[in-house]
Structures are given as structure tokens and as C-alpha cells.
Structure 1
Amino acid sequence: MNKVVITGSNGLLGQSLLNLLLQDKEIYEVYGFSRGENRSGRNDFSYVSIDITEEDNLKKALLEIQPNFIINTAAMTQVDDCENNKEACDLLNITVVKWLSEVSSTINAHLIHISTDFIFDGIKGNYKETDTPNPLSYYGLSKLKSEALLLDSKIDYTILRTILVYGKVFDMSRSNIVLWVKSMLEKGKEVTIVDDQFRTPTYVEDLALACKISIDKKATGIFNISSNELLSVYEIAQQIAYVFNLDRSLVKPISTSTLNQTAARPVKTGFDLSKTNKVLEFYPKSFKEDLHRFKNIIM
């Protein structure tokens, strides 16, 4: 039996992980850490209402449970918010990871941590795990620093870098690109979206599965997790309209320069998935294929 603690269990990835791991209750004993009430719609796991930015409470709870694996899905991911509130960003994205690493070292737990394409500057694109990071935003920098903490540690760790995660769970505190575009178009509203930024979006079910594979294989190191086809954000919105049979003419392209965003975004990211294919034996599909899977679940 593997004891697994999921931090941020109320979030999109957190709830997706609960749903996946709890299919195998003989293999996984699951604990969810999040603030406030349990929002997953499930009561067949141990929920701990906790603010993980309080060091003593976090460490005490983990030492009591003695998990074999900690999956850290909690993060401050709003890029402009991180730029405007660096202290809060540092606390959740770096300091909490340091504490999790310290506890993992004490109890010999394996820490699975989620990172981002925003650690790169977006000049090259199609990034390998070994490419040199150069973040343009404070968010990207904070995630790079959290990676460095694990690289310098003596613990077993897995870093899963991902891009533009979307999906739907029981109780959502915030939207994502697919749900937002779908909702706008269903209301007949125009969607203006950048055509000069390029991404390989990630279906949350795939990211959850990559976490589970990391547990099952005890895979350590850094892995890229995303879909396998680079698209402009405008093309992403067009494909959402197409798959959900909505009016594509409502999707209008704009350039990044017109947005006046606080934090800089990399122009072109996307991942080389060779290592993921080979080591994790995991073969992500195209965004359009994933969207059809997603549609079949929610429609």
C-alpha cells in the first residue's frame, strides 16, 4: 500500500488525481491537503483542511501520516499576480517546496512536483528536459528556483513540467482556456486571443496519469508532460470551437503587444516528449484528440 499525500487537493489537478488514484484503493491510501472545505465531491479519502504555507502545521501533519509519496500540485500560477506579489509567490512556489523536501528527507518520501514551460524564454521552442532555462517572468523564476531546490536535495524527486493545463472537475474555483473559450462562444460572445504565442496544451487527466506513472515506476528526474502538437493560442481557440461545434468566426486574433500584460510571456514553448515516451512509456496525443476525449466526458 502506497500512502500518497496530494497538496492542493481542491484544485483541478488535485481533484483529478483523487479521482484517478481512488480507483485503486488497494494500492493507494490517499490524503488530500487543501484550505477550507473538501471541494472534491468525494468522502472516500482522508481530507486534511490545512494552510500549507504554515510550516509547523504542514510538517506536523506530514510526520503524522508518514506518506511514501507527496504530490505537490499547490502553486501560485497566475503569472501577473506573481509579478505583483512576489512575497506570496515565493512562499507558495519556493518555500513550501523547501519544507516538503525537508520532510521528504526525514521520512524518506518521494516528492512529485509540478513545474512549467515558463522557466524558458520561448526563443527556441520544443524544449527538452536538458535545455537551459531562462525565465522571463517572476512566476517562471519561482518555479525554476523550486526545481533547483529538488536538484540540490538528496531525496527521490520527480519534476513534471507542463503547459496550459485544462479540464473539468467537481467544484472549480477558477476556469481554464478550454472552459473559458467554450463558455464565451456558447453565449455568442466574441473571443479575442493571441495568435503570436505558441503552446502544447495539457489535458489534466494526462498530467494526473503522469503523476500516477511516476509513483508506479518510482521514476525520478525531470519529465515533460503536454500534448504533442505545437499550436498558436488562436489555433487552440479555433480547435475548441470546432470540436464543440461552436462558431469559429467569433474567435478573433490579436497580438501580444496589444494586451499590455504585467509579466512577459515566452513566445513559443512546447515540449520534446522523447524522454517521456521512452522512460515513462507514456505517449501524449494531439490537442484535438484530447479535446474529443474531454468532450465525451463532459457532454
Structure 2
Amino acid sequence: MKTVLVTGSNGLLGQKITEKILKEGGVNLIATAKGENRFPVKEGYLYAEMDILNPEEVREIIEQYKPDAIIHTAAMTNVDTCEDEKELAYQLNVEAVATLVTLCEAHNIQLVHLSTDFIFDGENGPYDELAAPNPLSYYGETKLRAEELIKNSKAKWAILRTIIVYGIVSDMSRSNIVLWAKGALEKGNPLNIVNDQWRMPTLAEDLADCCFLAIEHDAQGVYNASGKDLMSISELVARVADFWNLDKSLINEVSAATLNQKAKRPARTGFILDKSMTELNYHPHSFEEGLEILDQQLKKSIGQ
């Protein structure tokens, strides 16, 4: 049985990975994050507090538990915050990866690393795994730098690139565009939503599956791991409104230029998923199927 260590286990993806292991078994899980464990179930796996920015602490934990694989989900992902706090973004998104790479090389550990569509400029998406990156934001730059560090290492590695991850955690402590749009529309708040950016939103459960498929297949190389439906952000919000029968007239379509966001976003990303589907047997849900899963979880969490 493989031992798998997960960084950022309190995050949305981290919690979905814990959930998956508890449901399916077959893996010894070491969940790690900064601070106390936020996952509601505490049995069936080990939790270790670990500050990814403390190389000595990271080394001690990895040498103590000797994982066969590390799924690295911890990162600074708020694109505008990365622009404001460049030093911290670099520490979290690049230096922490360098620490893990060194340890994976030394102990022959497979590294499964999460990356992003924001390494691309959005000029000619959807992209395959060989497309040339050209990040527009500091967030994209740090994630590309991390990819380069991993690719130039002697470690066993797989990079999974993803796009807009959505889902819920039990304490509702993590938001994302789907929950945000649903909540705002339910309150009757008018929304300004961009209609000139295209993405393929990814259900967190699908991404957790792909992380495991990468470990099961001893995957080596870059894989696209997103949802399969390409849509504009305004269409995404409209589909959320349709699914929950909310008022679409509250959605005001605007161009990205009108929002004055600190970081520049790529216009059209999206991924070609053929490689992940063929080599890893990755089969993501459609967007509406993902919303259905989310809806069931929401009903369960409020005890309906």
C-alpha cells in the first residue's frame, strides 16, 4: 500500500483528496497543512501540521513518514493577491516547490504538482500539454517557474494543470466562482460578469481523481486536468443561474477591461484533455453534472 502525503490538506482540493481516500481506501494518507486539521473526520489517516514555508519542518515530516508520493496542492492562488504580495507568492509558489523537489530527489518520491492555465496568455486556447507558455500575471509567472524547477529536476514527477476549481467543503470555509455566483444571485445582488474570458471549470472531485490516477499510473510528465466544457465566465454564471432557477437578469455582461483588476488574465484558455483521458483514464463530469453533485452535497450539508 502506497503512502501518500498531501500538502494543503485544508484547502478544497486537499479535503476532496482526503474524502476520496476515506471512501476508497488503498492508500496510507498523511494529510498536512498549516494550523489544525479542518477536515471533519479525524480517523482513517494521519494529520501532521506542516508549514510549507519552513524547509526544516518539511524535511522532518517527509523523513518521518517516508511517503511514496507527494500531492502538492498548497499554493497562493489569488491572482490579484500575488500581484500585491510578490515576495510571499514567490515563497509559496516557487521556493516551497524547490524544497519538495530536493526531498523527492533525495528519497525517490513521486511528486504530483498542481499547476494552472494562467501560465498561458490566452491568445490561442484551448491548449495541449506542449503549447508554449507566456504568463500575463505574477501568479502565472510563479507557477511557470515552479514547473520549470520540476522539469529540470531528477525527481519522478507529474504536473497536472487545471482551471477554475469549484466544489464545497463541509464547513463552507472555501468559496469559488460557482458558490459565489449562486449566493449573490440568491440574495438578488446584481453582478458584473466578464463575457470576454473563456474557461473550463473543474469539479474538485474530478481533480482529486486525476491526482490519484497520476499516482496509480506512475505518471511522468505534464497532463491537463480540467473540466471538459469551455464557456465564457458570463455563460458559466448564467448556467449556475439556470441550474438553480435564479434570476439571470441580475447578470450584467461586461468586458474584462472595465473591471480594473490588478492582474491581467488570459482571454481564452481551456485545455485539450486527450492525453489525460488516454493515458490516465481521466473522465471529468460535464459542468451540469458537476453542479448536480454540488447540489446534492449542499442539501446534505444543511440536512435536507
Task: Output the TM-score relative to the length of structure 1.
Answer: 0.97
Structure 2 residue matching 1:133: 3-state secondary structure: coil
Q: Which residue of 1 aligns with 2:302?
A: none
Structure 1 residues 235-286: Cα deviation after superposition (integer angstroms, max 9, x where no partner): 0000001111211111111111111111100000000111111111112233
Q: Which residue of 2 aligns with 1:48?
A: 48
Is the 2:167–2:203 Cα contact (8 Å) retained in structure 1? yes
Q: Which residue of 1 aligns with 2:205?
A: 205
CA distance in 1, matches of 2:179, 2:254: 20
Q: Structure 2 counterpart of 1:76, which letter? A: M
Q: Which residue of 1 aligns with 2:265?
A: 265
For structure 1, the 5+ residue unaligned runs are none
Structure 1 residues 211-243: Cα deviation after superposition (integer angstroms, max 9, x where no partner): 011111111111111121210000000000111
Is the 2:168–2:174 Cα contact (8 Å) retained in structure 1? no
CA distance in 2, matches of 1:78, 1:172: 18
CA distance in 2, matches of 1:93, 1:165: 17
Structure 1 residues 62-89: Cα deviation after superposition (integer angstroms, max 9, x where no partner): 1111000100000000101111111101
Q: Which residue of 2 aligns with 1:35?
A: 34
Is the 1:217–1:280 Cα contact (8 Å) retained in structure 2? yes
Structural RMSD (CA) = 1.1
Q: Does 1:278 align with 2:262?
A: no
Q: Structure 1 counterpart of 2:171, which letter? A: D
Task: Select between 37-46 and 262-271 the one with higher mean Cα deviation.
Answer: 37-46
Q: Structure 2 counterpart of 1:42, which letter? A: V
Structure 2 residue matching 1:22: 3-state secondary structure: helix
Q: Which residue of 1 aligns with 2:122?
A: 122
Task: Select between 140-149 and 244-253 the one with higher mean Cα deviation.
Answer: 244-253
Please report how far the alpha carbon of residue 190 of structure 1 lies from its aligned counterpart in structure 2 after TM superposition. Answer: 1.3
Q: Does 1:57 align with 2:96?
A: no
Q: Which residue of 1 aligns with 2:193?
A: 193
Is the 1:12–1:172 Cα contact (8 Å) retained in structure 2? no
CA distance in 1, matches of 2:267, 2:97: 28
Task: Select between 224-233 and 73-82 the one with higher mean Cα deviation.
Answer: 224-233
For structure 2, the 5+ residue unaligned runs are 300-304
CA distance in 2, matches of 1:159, 1:173: 27
Q: Which residue of 2 aligns with 1:73?
A: 73
CA distance in 1, matches of 2:23, 2:289: 24
CA distance in 2, matches of 1:142, 1:64: 29
Please report how far the alpha carbon of residue 172 of structure 1 lies from its aligned counterpart in structure 2 after TM superposition. Answer: 4.0
Q: Which residue of 1 aligns with 2:10?
A: 10
Aligned pairs for 1:178-257 (under 5 A) are 178-257=178-257
CA distance in 1, matches of 2:24, 2:179: 29
CA distance in 2, matches of 1:235, 1:91: 35
Work out the number of aligned pairs and report it. 298
CA distance in 2, matches of 1:29, 1:174: 26
Task: Output the TM-score relative to the length of structure 2.
Answer: 0.96
